[in-house]
Structure 1
Amino acid sequence: MQSKPTTIKEIAKILKISPSSVSRGLHDHPSIGAVTREKIKQLAKSLSYQPNNAAILFQKGKTYTIGVILPELSEHFFSTAISAIEDEALKKNYTVIFAQSHDNYEQEVKLVEKMKNQRVDGLLVSISKDTSNFDHFEKLNTFNIPVVFFDRIPPFKNVHYVACSLETATVKALNYLLKKGHRSIGMINGPATLFASEERKDGYIQAISFNRLKFDPSLIVNCDLTEKGTIEAANEFLNHKRKPTAIVAFNDYVALFLIKYFKKLNVINDFDIVSYANLPIISYIDNSPIASVEQYPYLQGQKAANILLDLMANPNPENQAFFNTIVESDLIVNEVNK
């Protein structure tokens, strides 16, 4: 059986001095004589004494931990962003705690509460697809826990966030398809609750209007980002009076669901597909999207982590400006399908 960790009180009892004297001796305080300091350190070493870091950090009012809440760790985008967050946190001697909402609002609310109870010093969040109420994040202000959102962000500017320029990205995607001769372009968008869905829609309308084409709202279909939802959206296009010849998918996962379904129906060659996220795997599959928007997840994670670290190092919530950082996107054309 492993014995309990040695405490300062036990060292003090053996040496017949006060616990505070032991503590000062271990930290080389000048009020403790050199001989006594050496006795304290030798005894502490022989008893395998280890400082209670949790108690020390609690006294300082910091835990040196950062919480991260995101939809799915299995998604390449988020796993890449996490690598950047860990890299930046390590430079400042912070530990990172990760949690997944699994794109569920109720789960997200519970996780925020758990992170608060864990006494994280700050929180990085990519919100779930169902999140439209942000009260659980606003409550963190009471506990002086700064929050920085990344990628999936709230639809307002009085928060700290890092995101990709999805409206601009969508304009690039539409212009690319229009130059290829497409005039009826469908879009499988995400849930209406996501600000990212609104940005994609705005970019779609902007590109269509700029090219003097008539905007048809029925060519934009929202889905829940599942395979079932993607198939339902695909069927709307297959039965549409203006059956599109190209489709912009919300992300590469939706594009893969779409490709699988169209291959099953043997209509895959009837459509050009463009998506977002630029997963490495798409360049290796048959009938892959002809282009995908690169959203630079590592850079987003890096910038979000650095903003949070700055906020924690320089807390001044009353006079604090909000950091709204936009990462420019690029449309990456799949060379195989050019």
Structure 2
Amino acid sequence: MDNKLPTIKEIAKRLNVSVSTVSRALSDHPRIGLRTKTQVQQLAKELGYEPNAKAISFKQQKSFVVGVVLPFIREEFFSQAISGIEAAAMESNYTILFGQSYDDVEREKSVVNAMRKQRVDGLLISLSKETNQYEHLRQLEKYNIPVVYFDRVPPFEKANKVFCNLYKGTVEMINWLLSRGYKRIALINGPDKLSASKERLNGYIEGHSRRKLKVDMQLVEKTDLSKEGTYAAMKSLLSQKNRPQAIITFNEYVHMDAVQYAAQQNILVNKEIVFASYANLPITNYTAHPPLVSVEQYPYGQGEKAMEIMIRLLNGKATDAHENEAVHKEEIPATLVLHQAAVY
């Protein structure tokens, strides 16, 4: 038995009609009569005919593939974002091509270049912690490939991006901690190159300023997001004569490393020193010491919204010449979440 997939030519030969007639009947063209259309579609179904995706892509000048580049797929935050991206993509019959930068800017450039060569229709990206130059992404404009940033977004305005307002979330977090008597609040921030780090620091300063409190910069440390970097930050904070009463960490992964270090120093976590964090990932519910409070960053929603913007941009190519010139910016409000399990 011939195991080859059936073709349009085979259907045309069996029905004694032209290939163009079969093609139009399968695409429900109004110029094809109902009887012929029904015969073609019924035979195609019986033979198990499937359209040639490559041929369709060539004809429409689209691959129906969107590239997604992010730091680590294994991180729960980004896996949730991927789920949101896929859900929105499937609704519009797009598929996703994933790549990881591993938080390395050279790797990010390599992955972006590979996706360009794969002729993706568009690119969604959450920047690496080292990225502060954007030429490798701006070059995609020459190939008419739109870019939408999410979560880790560039600082400039002329960019399609979806992000959580971490500045406002941090101000709210500082206010919450101060209102509960925690006066010495430390911050373990992320790499300087990330705009999200600047937002956290500015929110930290503003939160104190609104209470007419002077910021003690000795309470502000940085981590490169590695365990070693976080341990070094914790060591510096705990070595101070007047230790912090609360510590805000850059994200839940930094939180877990910070708490681990504190426990090793026999600190009673969330009693002697309380911890707060960002992202509100479900994984913290399974840890011995979840943060007392978190800023919810809605990774699923960010991914879903970023893909919806991308679909509008891609559809705009064919319907509105000005669509790609517009900048799409979606700010997702941050929400403060109290973890009851962390209250002892």
TM-score, normalised to structure 1, is: 0.88
- Decide whether aligned partners of structure 1 residues 114 and 176 sit closer, same or farther in structure 2, where only a CA change above 3 A counts: same
Give 1:242 deviation, angstroms. 3.8
1:329 is matched with: 334
- Decide whether aligned partners of structure 1 residues 256 and 24 sit closer, same or farther in structure 2, where only a CA change above 3 A counts: same
Specify the code of the residue in structure 1 equivalent to 2:102: H
1:176 is matched with: 176
Specify the code of the residue in structure 1 equivalent to 2:121: D
Conserved in 1, the CA contact under 8 Å of 2:184 and 2:245?
yes
1:219 is matched with: 219
Alignment size in residue pairs:
334
1:289 is matched with: 291
Specify the code of the residue in structure 2 equivalent to 1:307: I
Query: Structure 2: how far apart are the matches of 1:33 and 1:243?
Result: 82
List per-residue Cα deviations over 1:194-248 (Å, max 9, x = no partner). 0000000000000111111112223211111111110010011012244212110
Q: What RMSD, in angstroms, separates the aligned Cα atoms of the two structures?
A: 2.8
- Decide whether aligned partners of structure 1 residues 143 and 234 sit closer, same or farther in structure 2, where only a CA change above 3 A counts: same
Give 1:129 deviation, angstroms. 0.8
Query: Structure 1: how far apart are the matches of 2:293 and 2:75?
Result: 19
- Decide whether aligned partners of structure 1 residues 259 and 34 sit closer, same or farther in structure 2, where only a CA change above 3 A counts: closer
Specify the code of the residue in structure 2 equivalent to 1:295: Q
Identity %, equivalent residues: 44
- Decide whether aligned partners of structure 1 residues 180 and 314 sit closer, same or farther in structure 2, where only a CA change above 3 A counts: same
Give 1:113 deviation, angstroms. 1.1
2:130 is matched with: 130
SS of the aligned residue for 1:276 comes to strand
- Decide whether aligned partners of structure 1 residues 121 and 222 sit closer, same or farther in structure 2, where only a CA change above 3 A counts: same
Q: Write the mapping of 1:173-322 to structure 2, written as runs, cut at 5 A.
A: 173-269=173-269, 270-315=272-317, 316=321, 320-322=325-327
- Decide whether aligned partners of structure 1 residues 40 and 274 sit closer, same or farther in structure 2, where only a CA change above 3 A counts: closer
Which ranges in structure 1 are unaligned for 5 or more consecutive residues?
A: none
Query: Structure 2: how far apart are the matches of 1:262 and 1:150?
Result: 32
Give 1:121 deviation, angstroms. 1.1
Conserved in 2, the CA contact under 8 Å of 1:259 and 1:268?
no
Specify the code of the residue in structure 1 equivalent to 2:82: I
SS of the aligned residue for 1:99 comes to strand
Give 1:4 deviation, angstroms. 6.0
Conserved in 1, the CA contact under 8 Å of 2:146 and 2:324?
no
- Decide whether aligned partners of structure 1 residues 317 and 191 sit closer, same or farther in structure 2, where only a CA change above 3 A counts: farther
TM-score, normalised to structure 2, is: 0.87
Query: Structure 2: how far apart are the matches of 1:33 and 1:85?
Result: 40
2:102 is matched with: 102
Conserved in 1, the CA contact under 8 Å of 2:126 and 2:149?
yes
Query: Structure 2: how far apart are the matches of 1:279 and 1:92?
Result: 28
Specify the code of the residue in structure 2 equivalent to 1:56: I
Specify the code of the residue in structure 2 equivalent to 1:306: E
Give 1:277 deviation, angstroms. 0.7
2:81 is matched with: 81
Moved more, 223-232 or 77-86: 77-86
SS of the aligned residue for 1:27 comes to helix
1:27 is matched with: 24
- Decide whether aligned partners of structure 1 residues 218 and 88 sit closer, same or farther in structure 2, where only a CA change above 3 A counts: same
Query: Structure 2: how far apart are the matches of 1:171 and 1:33?
Result: 66
List per-residue Cα deviations over 1:226-272 (Å, max 9, x = no partner). 11110010011012244212110000110000111111111134211
